[in-house]
Structure formats: structure tokens, C-alpha cells
């Protein structure tokens, strides 16, 4: 906290307080404010009558009472409670940085109220807006864009969550996809897609050997197990699990 204390701010505060009250603080800035007399005179100059009685610094409780009266007065003056120091921060030299911050906040509040202060900042004035009840009721019928409107929005280029990305390689000679939004038949649409060459998962691969006189298999035919009977038949199919029948013309 001590490292945050600004000596330049101290010189500015000294010039402002001494110029406002007309009293000299002394060589030590904080020691000159510890009895609370100059602080009470400062707030009385900014807002007359803020502190009704300023105690003479005879005993410690007189000094603490002056500091307490000053703190209550600047609270009524408009300084925020979180900007105000505790009495022991000044009297016991525990937090001079907070005391400096409180005096700067007081100077800012004085500048905001129209006093000629070359310290602090001027607070923005509150802009109070009042609307008629009819206008407020009309606003309940308006839905903002964050509430789920579809104006100026589309699903172009979107794919279903969890689907694989379609890759296209021109060197393979495959047809270029229609668009990036093409979804396979497993996703529920048949636009731009077919089941050519697909087999049921787990089925055996059909092998064609011309030397054995076997007939060429139709890889374009889709079995009934795939969900479509267009251009397909069950010719030559056997029940799963039965032995395979081998035909040899030499024995027939």
C-alpha cells in the first residue's frame, strides 16, 4: 500500500487544501491532518455547516471525533462509501494511500458540484429517462434478434452434428460433390447421393473368377436388407448360417 502513495498527488492536495482553508498544513502532510481540524474546516468551506463543532486537539479522542465528523460529512457531501478511509488509517498511520484516495475523491466531488478545483475528475451527471406506460407496454411485443429470429439467417453450409467431413480428391477421378452441405443417406436425405456399391455391415465379399465360369456379381444391386427393393431381387440368396452350395459341371 505504501508503494502506491503518490508524492505528486500529495503536493497537489496540499496546494488545494491550503488554498481552500487558508491554513498551512506543515512539513508532514499526514501529521498535519491527523488532528482532523483542517479536514473539518475543508468540508465546511465546501459545504458550510457540515461539521457543527470542531474540537480542539487536546486529547486523542478529540482528534478521533474530528476525523469521524469529517468522514460523516463527506459521505453526506456525495463521496462514495467505498472511497472513504477509516479513522485509524490516518490516526495510526496504517494506510496513508487510502487517505490520499479519499481526498482525491472529495476533490472530484467538489469539482462536479462546480468548485474551482485543479485536482481529480469531474463525474458524469446522471441522465434520468422516463417513459410513458404505453411505450413500455409496446416494448413487450418486440422480440430482439437474440431471442431466436431467423431474419437474414440461413443454414447454408451447415451439417448435422457428428457427421464425417466429405473429402474430394480430383486425382482419384471421383465426381466433385454437389456442395458442402451434401449429407449421406444415413443422415436422412437422398439428394445427390446413392447406395451404389454398398453392402450390409458384416457380410462376406463376393469374389468373381472368370476361369471357374462364375457369373459376374452385380455390385449395383441393393439387397432388401438395405431398405430398398428398387432394381434388386433375392435370387440365389440363402439364409444366414447355412453352408454354401458349390456347383461343379463335371459332376452334373
Distances (CA, A) of 69 to 9, 108, 231: 24, 20, 99
Domains of the chain: which residue ranges? 7-113
> pLDDT in tens for each of the 252 residues of the chain?
677 888 999 999 999 999 999 999 989 999 999 999 999 999 999 999 999 999 988 899 999 999 999 999 999 999 999 999 999 999 998 999 999 999 999 999 999 888 888 887 777 666 677 777 887 777 776 666 556 655 566 666 666 666 666 555 666 666 665 555 544 445 555 555 566 666 666 666 666 566 666 666 555 555 555 555 555 566 666 666 566 666 666 765
pTM: 0.50
Task: With H, G, I as helix, E, B as strand and everything else as coil, classify residue 82.
Answer: helix
C-alpha–C-alpha distance, residues 45 and 39, integer Å: 10
DSSP code of residue 230: T
What sign for the dihedral angle of Cα 39, 42, 47, 49? positive
Give domain 7-113's CATH superfamily: Calponin-like domain (1.10.418.10)
C-alpha–C-alpha distance, residues 41 and 54, integer Å: 8
Task: With H, G, I as helix, E, B as strand and everything else as coil, classify residue 199.
Answer: coil
Judging by beta carbons within 10 Å of its beta carbon (0-12, 13-18, 19+), is residue 212 exposed, middle or buried? exposed
Amino acid at each position: 500500500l505504501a508503494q502506491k502513495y503518490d508524492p505528486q498527488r500529495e503536493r497537489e492536495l496540499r496546494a488545494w487544501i491550503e488554498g481552500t482553508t487558508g491554513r498551512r498544513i506543515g512539513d508532514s502532510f499526514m501529521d498535519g491532518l491527523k488532528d482532523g481540524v483542517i479536514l473539518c474546516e475543508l468540508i465546511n468551506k465546501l459545504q458550510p455547516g457540515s461539521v457543527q463543532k470542531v474540537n480542539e486537539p487536546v486529547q486523542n479522542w478529540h482528534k478521533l471525533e474530528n476525523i469521524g465528523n469529517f468522514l460523516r460529512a463527506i459521505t453526506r457531501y456525495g463521496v462514495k462509501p467505498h472511497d472513504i478511509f477509516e479513522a485509524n488509517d490516518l490516526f495510526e498511520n496504517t494506510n496513508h494511500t487510502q487517505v490520499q484516495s479519499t481526498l482525491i475523491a472529495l476533490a472530484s466531488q467538489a469539482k462536479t458540484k462546480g468548485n474551482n478545483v485543479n485536482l481529480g475528475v469531474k463525474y458524469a451527471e446522471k441522465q434520468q429517462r422516463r417513459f410513458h406506460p404505453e411505450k413500455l407496454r409496446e416494448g413487450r411485443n418486440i422480440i430482439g434478434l437474440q431471442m431466436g429470429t431467423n431474419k437474414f439467417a440461413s443454414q447454408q453450409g451447415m451439417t448435422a452434428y457428428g457427421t464425417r467431413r466429405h473429402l474430394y480428391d480430383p486425382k482419384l477421378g471421383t465426381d466433385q460433390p454437389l456442395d458442402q452441405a451434401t449429407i449421406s443417406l444415413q443422415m436422412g436425405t437422398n439428394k445427390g447421393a446413392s447406395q451404389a456399391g454398398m453392402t450390409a455391415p458384416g457380410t462376406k465379399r463376393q469374389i468373381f473368377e472368370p476361369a471357374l465360369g462364375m457369373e459376374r456379381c452385380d455390385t449395383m444391386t441393393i439387397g432388401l436388407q438395405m431398405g430398398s427393393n428398387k432394381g434388386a431381387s433375392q435370387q440365389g440368396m440363402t439364409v444366414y448360417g447355412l453352408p454354401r452350395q458349390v456347383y461343379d459341371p463335371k459332376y452334373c
